[in-house]
Structure 1
Amino acid sequence: MDISVVVPLYNEVESLPELTAWISRVMAENNFSYEIILVDDGSKDGSWEMICELNQANPAIRGIKFRRNYGKSAALNTGFEAVKGNVVITMDADLQDSPDEIPELYRRIVEEKFDLISGWKAKRYDPISKTIPTKLFNAATRSMSGIDNLHDFNCGLKAYRKTVVKNIEVYGEMHRYIPVLAKWAGFTKIGEQVVEHRARKYGTTKFGMSRFVNGFLDLLSIFFVGKFGKRPMHFFGAMGTLSFLAGLIITVWIISEKLYHIAHNEKYRDATDNPLFYIALVAIILGSQLFLTGFVSELVARSSNDRNKYQVEETV
């Protein structure tokens, strides 16, 4: 099969007939063999009944229904597990992504050998309250991930080689950072394509302001897990060493100062009257705790079932 299109959705019953008809028309015009996987993330508006009708009319349309709303990341991850196509396209169900972009995305994956192509909606129809925070998050993600050629990490319209989606796990709200997940998994040929952003035709957006806080926390999580997931002691041990040494140096300074005054018969204050004493005490305790955290994390990592699971590209 050439292409699998994964569409996560939540209460998008109005747009589904138009979207699936549009995708099918594009596939037919380009002679692609395809499947459309619609993942219903606990909709309450009749979306699942519509998916069943569409499946009866076109067997290439498949549906997966969650018992409740789990979020876009869960829907994408479940869709990725089900795909059969050599190239996987993801797009939103609200008709803001154009299926006409699919042939060029497919060509670049197949001919230019990209692992992942991320869409960039250079001209957007979103309010400024959404575009400015999005730009800030994209800038922070570029800086932390080292993927400096992407303008929009969170664009729903993306194309992947099948091996990419079969070797990453999207959870929490990590759908915003799929290019980062792919990079940490060893898929480094990541490109970008300017795509059309269409105004929403039906319904309203399903994402509130809380997604920006969650997005920032997920960015920190993915950075830490990707860099230190298999060697947590390198992080906690380094931080603990710095904290412990800082406390030790301050302690030595306090003792040396006291001995100096004693040697010269000078008046001196008690160590507990010196604010540096408490700073040193906190630093030593914190350093010890960080060390213990590192040891516990190492034990957890070493007992994990995937502690020696690594991405193997090919063998001969």
Structure 2
Amino acid sequence: MTIHPEIAKILGTLPAPDGSPLNPAAMRAREASQVLPLEDRLPLFLVEDATAVTASGEVPVRIYTPAEADAYGLLVYFHGGAFFLGSLDTHDHVARSLARETGHKVISVGYRLAPEAAFPAGLDDCYGVVRWAAEQGASLGWDGKNLAIAGDSSGGNFVAAVAAQAHDDGFDLITHQVLFYPSLDLDFDVDRYASLRENAEGYGLETAGLLPFNSFYLGNGADPSDPLVSPIKREDLAGLPPALVITAEYDPLRDEGELYGQRLTEAGVDATVSRYAGANHGFVANFSWLPEFYRAFGETAAFLDGNAGQ
């Protein structure tokens, strides 16, 4: 199908890239100006800010409790933003929707951003919070079953990398990985995936912008072929948690996400790839007000329920 008409309407208002250097501070300020006021956000039983004390330092988190209950599954969420954008506030609506639809207590991670903190700072923060959540299970009301991780775009990169790190460390409590249109291959080659050319221009995320976006995260000389930088490079995916990979039809990153799901399946991991027709990169964060895209949260809930505690 063609791009969804509501997405097309918004895309038609965006200025064409002019090739000028990226200004992270200005881009963050623009994002912050678009955050909904508190009174207009999806109401939940309890939303509270906290600090996770981890091996990488103190990490701000926001904890979303969907309803009053005796115990909950836990879902640790890593927001997107090309490693240098996004915050607890810009993705607050995503975390709220995940909490409401899954019934899990969601812990959103305010990890350090590039270029001020390049690889592996953000990854270390995300992994640290997952381990903190397990350690703090009793105080968080964890039911001891699901400990899921989820992320969109660059947050999906962190999901795959954290799952791999945890496996290698013998930390086997992660039960699920959920990746929304993940960025999994920072070893950039425009000919590596057909979607990089098919969806190169006009759909919001431009293929030409990927290299400068990623350069902030790689700014300390990180090797893009390192599997913790580009999780698709990991040779052995066996033993990783069951996965749900949600991709968008009109996304330059579509094919690397789908390849990750395919490779997980080939490695014996229970993996589901779900492509959303008519969608573009970022649709969960930007267009979930449309029912056909909001269902990604319901699909996540069904995945967590169907693979509960595995």
TM-score (norm 1): 0.28
- TM-score w.r.t. structure 2 length? 0.29
Please state which structure has a larger fraction of its residues in strand. Answer: 2
Q: Which has the higher helix share?
A: 1
> Quick check: which has more Rg, 1 or 2?
1
